[in-house]
Amino acid sequence: MYKIIFTLAVIVFSAVEIQAQEFQGMAVYESKTSASDFSKRMEGNKNVTPDMQKMIEDRMKKMFEKTFILNFDKSASIYKEEEKLEAGAQSGAGMRMIMSMTGGGGTFYKNVKDKSYTVDKEFMGKEFLVKDSLPNLQWKMEGETRIIGGYNCFKATAVREASKTDFRNFTPKKEDANAKPADATKKTSLLEELDMPKETVITAWYTPEIPVNQGPENYWGLPGLILEVNDGKTVILCSKVILNPKVKTVIKASTKGKVVTQKEFDDTVFKKMEEFRDMNQGRGNGGFRIGG
């Protein structure tokens, strides 16, 4: 009798373990970034006509409103922008550079078990494979709750260092009427021309009803799937969740590109940004030229 009970218990626990291993989910996220700072910068620019400004704003709206798909299991996930085919969609070097620095492109693979991530990036015609450790976010549990998509969610906040290569963090410096005219022959650092926050306050909403340590982009570390993230400029909101879909997705890291750390990739991007800035200053634009 005891042998039979023991055998049944083994079968039950084995079935539970297998089910946990095979568990998979899919979440759809809508990402929106405020472009008001860039619109204000264009206002009053004599080189930008109203038609050009509207065209640029329309392009930036498309860049800053994206849809991403997160496929996840208990230990890993892949996060990728939903592919959209737009006939005749072309952009210049400036626009392509900005697009590569706004969270788009590539497949973001997270492994919360070994606390690492891998993302393939294409930048200026070259392919990179960024491999590094996941950020150690010190989440603070808040007392607020809300419902998102039918799931009970809890609020958590964290403070993280702002990325210097994420275009969404850039804010043009305000002109000081009392400042002395700048020396045109003096070379300045790109950082001197931009206001960039040192830190960013992250607000996240997670649901313990989906007990996975996952979320969009490189957000993770909460006792439940993160359904919304807000960093002050960008809001990433989950619009749909499917648990245990019939069609399973292979969750694995990309292997394409030159392997670099996040710092090495950031240094490469920042160097190219400065070169691009210097090239456009020679054209009389005084900064980045959007659209080519």
* Comparison of pLDDT for 37 and 235, the residue scoring more: 235
- CA-closest candidate to residue 171, choices 194, 197, 200, 198: 194
pLDDT exceeds 50 at position 212: yes
Q: Please state, rounded to an integer, the average pLDDT across all residues of the chain.
A: 76
pLDDT exceeds 70 at position 143: yes
Tell me what pLDDT residue 229 has: 97
Tell me what pLDDT residue 18 has: 37
Q: Indicate whether 11 belongs to any domain.
A: no
* Comparison of pLDDT for 274 and 96, the residue scoring more: 274
Q: Residue 262: which residues within 8 A CB-CB, separation 6 or more? A: 130, 132
Q: Indicate whether 157 belongs to any domain.
A: yes
* Comparison of pLDDT for 70 and 97, the residue scoring more: 70
Q: Residue 209: which residues within 8 A CB-CB, separation 6 or more? A: 151, 152, 224
Of 51-60, 87-96, 191-200, where does mean pLDDT reach its minimum? 87-96
User: By residue range, what is the domain housing residue 162?
Assistant: 21-170+191-281
Report the side by side order of strands in the sheet with 76-81.
140-148, 151-161, 199-207, 225-230, 234-243, 25-33, 65-72, 76-81, 107-111, 116-123, 126-133, 258-260
Most confident of 102-116, 157-171, 253-267: 253-267
b vs e for 192-220, b when ≥16 Cβ sit within 10 Å of the residue's Cβ?
ebbeeeeebebbbbbbeebebbbbbbbbb
pLDDT exceeds 80 at position 232: yes
Instruction: Look at residue 171 and give its three-state secondary structure.
Output: strand
Radius of gyration of the CA atoms of the chain, in A: 23
Q: Indicate whether 175 belongs to any domain.
A: no
Tell me what pLDDT residue 276 has: 73
Instruction: Look at residue 15 and give its three-state secondary structure.
Output: helix
pTM of the predicted model, to two decimals?
0.74
Tell me what pLDDT residue 19 has: 47
Q: Indicate whether 81 belongs to any domain.
A: yes
Tell me what pLDDT residue 182 has: 54
Tell me what pLDDT residue 163 has: 72
Q: Indicate whether 10 belongs to any domain.
A: no
* Comparison of pLDDT for 21 and 13, the residue scoring more: 21
Count other Cβ atoms within 10 Å, centred on residue 110.
28
Long-range (24+ apart) CB contacts under 8 A made by 186-193 are 187/278, 189/274, 190/270, 190/273, 190/274, 190/277, 191/164, 193/277, 193/287
Q: Indicate whether 5 belongs to any domain.
A: no
* Residue 125 pLDDT grade (very low, low, confident, very high; cuts 50, 70, 90): confident
Tell me what pLDDT residue 255 has: 93
How far is it between the farthest Cα atoms of the chain?
93
Q: What's the rounded Cα separation, in Å, for the pair 172 and 286?
A: 12
Q: Indicate whether 184 belongs to any domain.
A: no
Tell me what pLDDT residue 102 has: 45
* Comparison of pLDDT for 105 and 103, the residue scoring more: 105
The residue count of the chain comes to: 292
* Comparison of pLDDT for 194 and 161, the residue scoring more: 161
Over residues 8-35, mean pLDDT: 65
Tell me what pLDDT residue 227 has: 98
Number of independent structural domains in the chain: 1
Most confident of 9-13, 66-70, 267-271: 66-70
Q: Read off the amino acid at residue 84.
A: K
Q: Indicate whether 48 belongs to any domain.
A: yes
Over residues 96-103, mean pLDDT: 51
Tell me what pLDDT residue 86 has: 52
pLDDT exceeds 70 at position 166: no
